[in-house]
């Protein structure tokens, strides 16, 4: 704590650099800046105590300061051990008007290169407020929401289960943290769960967890699925990845992508952006899919569709985008060509079997530089793994650029305002924002790009059965 601001970041002296990049990013985030102007006199988030778990980048700094501009108090942690940009974290703590000696900003608990213990410590600090707990959660991947739900569940049972051999190292850390907190305060997570008015969730993987909780009747508060706003998943997941996937590969390896064979596992929104990113550099892309519809889309887009097993002998680069587990296994990696680059861009690190790789008989790990490892197999051939199998665009590069994140984060801010101000109108279910708001977010960003929108005549609007002012599509339209 310094000057009354609690924090745990790498170096507050980085704040000035962070502030300069935040200033440039603000211009590239017209949606967030428009929301600041729209709500300038209204402060719809006055009284909100937002606990946020989302990659602590420059773009997220603009989001955080937008929430503050709307009246919220905020505490923040990253949702990944490698994704923090230390200068952004420092600038948020210092705030626009503070100094490293006298910070005036927001409590942030995040630095690049956390251990798993440190990561969960940061998540816990972010959720722990002096006095009252948070009344809103802003989540990316659902770790904060999960901690509150598991904590509540174990407090009700009065016991935290012992880990078993099949549990991941990370889950053992979570159980350890919850066991300690149960011993210290048997009601901590229950109180937090009861105080939260709602959560807004950023990504596909977190949304899946929310629907599972809701289906089981276990969701403790209403949730807004921000990911499935069209201006989020059809833009961030796709065009954001198109930008940041090759950025991560380039910064990690600087290998020429043109002419290489790149395998993209999964052809959802992220996979589509990944394939375009790699083929844009001249790679020959092969897609693996389990869903015939997405597989057919890949074929129509000009990519070969194969199983991973059959694609492996040719692959120079293998990227997972599925949000599923066990997609690239140790046996696959053992069969790859020398110096094949292996990376994941889905939310969690279980798409690539890193545990199996580490256990592979005779395998050796050579660290090349932070977030780049060469793994050498006993036969002498090696593969290059980026970000230890965690999302490489944030681990090896700086994630998506500002403009696309402005779309995502505009939806986040709108969703926070909606749940904070109207939580009584919502049940403990998962909701999406109305299409009208999606169109509003798109309109702001189109305008910023100088796009000219055609206006419907009244007659035309009647003919296609929509309102002149929108929404312009039915709910089942897929874009
Ligand atoms: P999606 O559901 O649109 O796409 C995933 C695709 O993977 C689906 O088409 C599915 O059929 C396919 N798939 C599932 N299991 C498979 C398997 N074993 N082999 C091959 N294909 C398989 O999901 P979306 O939106 O593309 O997100 C994917 C992941 O990326 C999620 O974990 C999401 O949270 C994450 N994400 C990461 C971002 C980043 O900046 N790194 C940005 C946005 C999302």
> Best of 141, 347, 349 to mutate for ligand 1, by most ligand atoms within 8 A of CB?
347
Tell which atom from ligand 1 comes closest to the C-alpha of 326. Answer: 18
Position 43 confidence tier, pLDDT thresholds 50, 70, 90:
very high
3 labeled binding residue: no
Dist CA 104 CA 366 (whole Å): 42
ipTM: 0.99
Count other C-beta atoms under 10 Å from residue 134's C-beta.
25
Instruction: Please give the distance of CA 301 from its chain centroid, rounded to a whole number.
Output: 27
**382-386 vs 372-376, strand pairing mode:** antiparallel
Q: pTM, whole model, 2 decimals?
A: 0.98
**49-53 vs 430-431, strand pairing mode:** unpaired
Q: Give 440-454 pLDDT, tens digit per residue.
A: 999 999 999 999 999
Please choose, from the candidates 186, 199, 181, the residue with its C-alpha nearest in 3D space to the C-alpha of residue 145.
Answer: 199
322: CA distance to ligand 1 center in Å?
3
End-to-end CA distance of the chain, in Å?
48
Structure tokens, 270: 């992220």
pLDDT, position 131: 85
pLDDT, position 31: 98
**How many percent of the chain have pLDDT more than 90?**
99
**How many percent of the chain have pLDDT more than 70?**
100
Mean pLDDT of 449-472: 98
Residues within a 6 A CB radius of ligand 1 = 203-205, 233, 236-237, 265-271, 288-291, 294, 321-324, 327, 345-347, 391, 393, 399-400
Mean pLDDT score of the chain, rounded to an integer?
Answer: 98
308 near 286, Cβ under 8 Å? no
Tell which atom from ligand 1 comes closest to the C-alpha of 346. Answer: 30
The DSSP secondary structure of 250-291, one letter per residue, reads HHHH----TT-EEEEE--SHHHHHHHHHHHHTTPEEEEE-SS
Position 237 confidence tier, pLDDT thresholds 50, 70, 90:
very high
Dist CA 336 CA 284 (whole Å): 17
pLDDT, position 28: 98
> Best of 59, 204, 241 to mutate for ligand 1, by most ligand atoms within 8 A of CB?
204
DSSP category for residue 238 = I
pLDDT, position 273: 98
410 near 226, Cβ under 8 Å? no
Q: Give 386-398 pLDDT, tens digit per residue.
A: 999 999 999 999 9
32: CA distance to ligand 1 center in Å?
26
Position 152 confidence tier, pLDDT thresholds 50, 70, 90:
very high
Residue nearest (by alpha carbon) to ligand 1 atom 43: 237
> Best of 57, 240, 268 to mutate for ligand 1, by most ligand atoms within 8 A of CB?
268
pLDDT, position 342: 98
pLDDT, position 132: 87
Partners of 373 in the β-ladder:
367, 385
Peptide bond into 471 cis (omega under 30): yes
Query: What 3 state SS string does 445-469 have?
Result: HHHHCCCCCCCCCHHHHHHCCCCCC
Residue nearest (by alpha carbon) to ligand 1 atom 31: 323
């Amino acid at each position: 704590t310094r000057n009354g601001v609690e924090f745990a970041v790498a170096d507050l002296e980085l704040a000035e650099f962070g502030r300069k990049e935040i200033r440039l990013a603000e211009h590239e985030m017209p949606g967030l800046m428009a929301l600041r102007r729209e709500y300038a006199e209204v402060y719809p988030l006055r009284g909100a105590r937002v606990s946020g778990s989302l990659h602590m980048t420059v773009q997220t700094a603009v989001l955080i300061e937008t929430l503050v501009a709307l009246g919220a108090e905020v505490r923040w942690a990253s949702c990944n051990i490698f994704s923090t940009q230390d200068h952004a974290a420092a600038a948020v703590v210092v705030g626009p008007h503070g100094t490293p000696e006298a910070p005036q900003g927001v409590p942030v608990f995040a630095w690049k290169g956390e251990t798993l213990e440190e990561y969960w410590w940061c998540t816990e600090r972010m959720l722990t407020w002096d006095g009252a707990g948070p009344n809103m959660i802003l989540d990316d991947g659902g770790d904060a929401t999960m901690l509150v739900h598991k904590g509540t569940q174990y407090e009700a049972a009065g016991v935290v289960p012992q880990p078993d051999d099949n549990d991941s190292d990370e889950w053992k850390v979570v159980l350890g943290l919850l066991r300690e907190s149960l011993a210290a305060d048997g009601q901590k997570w229950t109180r937090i769960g009861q105080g939260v008015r709602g959560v807004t969730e950023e990504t596909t993987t977190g949304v899946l967890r929310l629907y599972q909780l809701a289906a089981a009747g276990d969701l403790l508060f209403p949730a807004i699925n921000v990911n499935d706003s069209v201006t989020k998943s059809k833009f961030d997941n796709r065009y954001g990845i198109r930008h940041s996937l090759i950025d991560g590969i380039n910064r990690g390896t600087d290998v020429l992508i043109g002419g290489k064979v790149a395998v993209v596992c999964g052809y959802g929104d992220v996979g589509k952006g990944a394939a375009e990113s790699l083929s844009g550099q001249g790679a020959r892309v092969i897609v693996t899919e389990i869903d015939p519809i997405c597989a057919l889309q890949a074929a129509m887009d000009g990519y070969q569709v194969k199983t991973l097993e059959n694609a492996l002998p040719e692959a120079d680069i293998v990227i997972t985008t599925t949000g599923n587990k066990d997609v690239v296994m140790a046996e696959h990696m053992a069969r790859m060509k020398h110096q094949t680059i292996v990376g994941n861009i889905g939310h969690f690190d279980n798409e690539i079997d890193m545990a199996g790789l580490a256990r592979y008989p005779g395998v050796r790990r050579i660290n090349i530089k932070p977030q780049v490892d060469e793994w050498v197999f006993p036969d002498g051939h090696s593969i290059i793994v980026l970000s230890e199998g965690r999302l490489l665009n944030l681990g090896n590069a700086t994630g998506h650029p500002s403009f696309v994140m402005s779309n995502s984060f505009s939806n986040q801010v709108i969703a926070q305002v909606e749940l904070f101000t109207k939580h009584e109108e919502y049940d403990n279910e998962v909701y999406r924002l109305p299409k009208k708001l999606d169109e509003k977010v798109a309109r702001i960003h189109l305008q910023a790009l100088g796009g000219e929108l055609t206006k419907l005549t009244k007659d035309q609007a009647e003919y296609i059965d929509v309102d002149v002012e929108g929404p312009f599509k039915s709910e089942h339209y897929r874009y």
